[in-house]
Amino acid sequence: MLHLDMDAFFASVEQLTRPTLRGRPVLVGGLGGRGVVAGASYEARAYGARSAMPMHQARRMVGAGAVVLPPRGGLYSMLSKTVFDALRTRMPVLEMISMDEAFGEPQELAGADAEAVRVFAEELRALIRDRTGLVASIGAGSGKQIAKIASGLAKPDGVRVVTPAEQRGLFEALPVRKLWGIGPVADEKLRRLGIETIGGLAATSSTEIVSVLGATLGPSLHRLAQGIDDRPVAERADAKQVSAETTFAADLMTLDQLRAAVERTGAAAHARLLGDGRAARTVVLKLKKSDMSIVTRSATLPYATADLQTLVATAQRQVIDPLELGPVRLVGVSLGDSPPFGRARCSPTWTRVM
């Protein structure tokens, strides 16, 4: 199993297409007071900046030398397509996780030794570099989990092959947070039990894991920690939902302000719906309050439609007056259950900052 991850993709694209940025700390993301980092170059990461960090914090870490740029979604999508079209000439079946990472399971590597896998991975990296000028890291292992961990260990600009013989020793030492599916909350719960490594999780009884992580998540994570991962690579179906979000520099305090925001954000989601050649039945309104709590409300129409007025009106019916709900800092509108009615294509959703 291979996991390919483009290195610092958004920032690398900016440095590739704007040569004067090479070697400089680049931050891609929202430029407003509440903007979030979508991508950081390795030069910026050296200062502690990272994706999903508030932009003001990242800029403070990097200092006056930071180059802050808004995302260019169309360019990223184009280069992503070039990368994965090239990869499909060697691996026809790819499971794309996002526009910059995917799993592959090439048939020609069945039964191959570690050196043959390494050579194949290097050929893929050379193919990407030749077609786009971009750099990728690749991890290889017996399943998706270990391949993803291996690609993280390969960064930046490398290949890491983890053999079955190495896997147990690697898991014994790795922090449990490295396990796909373990977030801050689960990590804290496990630490209270004294479980800090993947090996420690594997050695804990399944009964105890279920009591801490629940009957749904617990058993699957326990199996992954034990190196049991038989999930196949499968092409993902076309997205069945499009959405748009807007984060505001100042909280929305009145009903009129909120309705105007829903109107604009709904129109942005509708534009993506039409661009994907889809209709929608389900409309979801997402409101993030100033205390960071999130309220979502949804409504399902009796029929699918691509009519802007109908869809935005449905979103407006889900609105809660900020005087009742509290100040609102983010508005999102999602249009779902949307089977293609024409040529479908997938495009990323960007969060705008206002």
Query: What CATH number is attached to the domain comprising 132?
Result: 3.30.70.270
Q: Give pLDDT, residue 347.
A: 31
The pLDDT-based confidence of 34 (bands split at 50, 70, 90) is low
**148 and 173 belong to one structural domain:** no
Domain boundary among 225, 249, 271: 225
The answer to whether 74 touches 272, Cβ cutoff 8 Å, is no
Q: From the CB of residue 330, how many other CB atoms can be counted at a distance below 10 Å? A: 22
- In this structure, what token pair is assigned to residue 345? 């294509």
Provide the pLDDT for residue 220.
87
For the CA atoms of 27, 31, 35, 37, what is the dihedral angle to 10 degrees? Answer: -10
Residues 52 and 112 in one domain: yes
- pTM of the prediction? 0.70
* Range 9-31 average pLDDT: 94
pLDDT at 167 over 60: yes
Looking at the domain assignment, is residue 111 inside a domain? Answer: yes
Looking at residue 238, its pLDDT comes to 56
Q: Is 188 annotated as catalytic?
A: no
Q: Are residues 55 and 77 in the same domain?
A: yes
**Domains: count for the chain:** 3
Instruction: Decide which of 161 and 37 is more confident.
Output: 161
At 158, list the tokens: 């490398």
Domain assignment present for 236: no
Cα–Cα distance between 30 and 20 in angstroms, integer? 21
| Domain CATH number, residue 190 | 1.10.150.20
pLDDT at 276: 65
My answer on whether 210 and 75 are in the same domain is: no
Q: What is the DSSP letter of 317?
A: T
For the purposes of burial, counting CB atoms within 10 Å of the CB of 118, is it exposed (0-12), middle (13-18) or buried (19 or more)? middle
Residue 231 lies in a domain: no
**Is the same domain home to 24 and 130?**
yes
Same domain, 155 and 208: no
Kindly give, in sequence order, each residue whose CB lies less than 8 Å from that of residue 337, ignoring residues fewer than 6 positions away.
240, 241, 280, 281, 282, 300, 304
pLDDT at 237: 60
Which phi-psi region, left, alpha or beta, contains residue 114 (left: φ > 0; alpha: ψ -120 to 50)? alpha
Q: Is residue 297 part of a domain?
A: yes
Do residues 88 and 210 share a domain?
no
Please identify which of the residues 14, 43, 95, 101 carries the catalytic annotation. Answer: 101
Average pLDDT over residues 86-90: 94
Percent of the chain residues past pLDDT 90, beyond the cut: 55
pLDDT(303) > 80:
no
82 and 209 in a single domain? The answer is no
Other CB atoms within 10 Å distance of the CB of residue 209: 22
* Cis peptide upstream of residue 92 (ω within 30 degrees of 0): no
Q: What is the mean pLDDT of the chain?
A: 87
Helix (H) or strand (E) holding 266: helix 255-275
pLDDT of the residue at 277: 66
pLDDT of residue 349: 36
Q: Are strands 2-6 and 101-104 parallel, antiparallel or unpaired?
A: antiparallel
Q: Are residues 149 and 199 in the same domain?
A: no
Do 36 and 182 share a domain, yes or no? Answer: no
Of 16-20, 181-185, 229-233, 252-256, where does mean pLDDT reach its minimum? 181-185
pLDDT at 352: 38
Domain residues for the domain of 192 are: 167-225
Angle at 139 between CA 135 and CA 144, to 5 degrees: 130
Q: For position 119, what pLDDT does the model report?
A: 97
Residue 11 sits in the same domain as residue 143: yes
Instruction: Say whether both 8 and 154 belong to one domain.
Output: yes
> Which of 115-124, 308-317, 342-351 shows the lowest mean pLDDT across its residues?
342-351
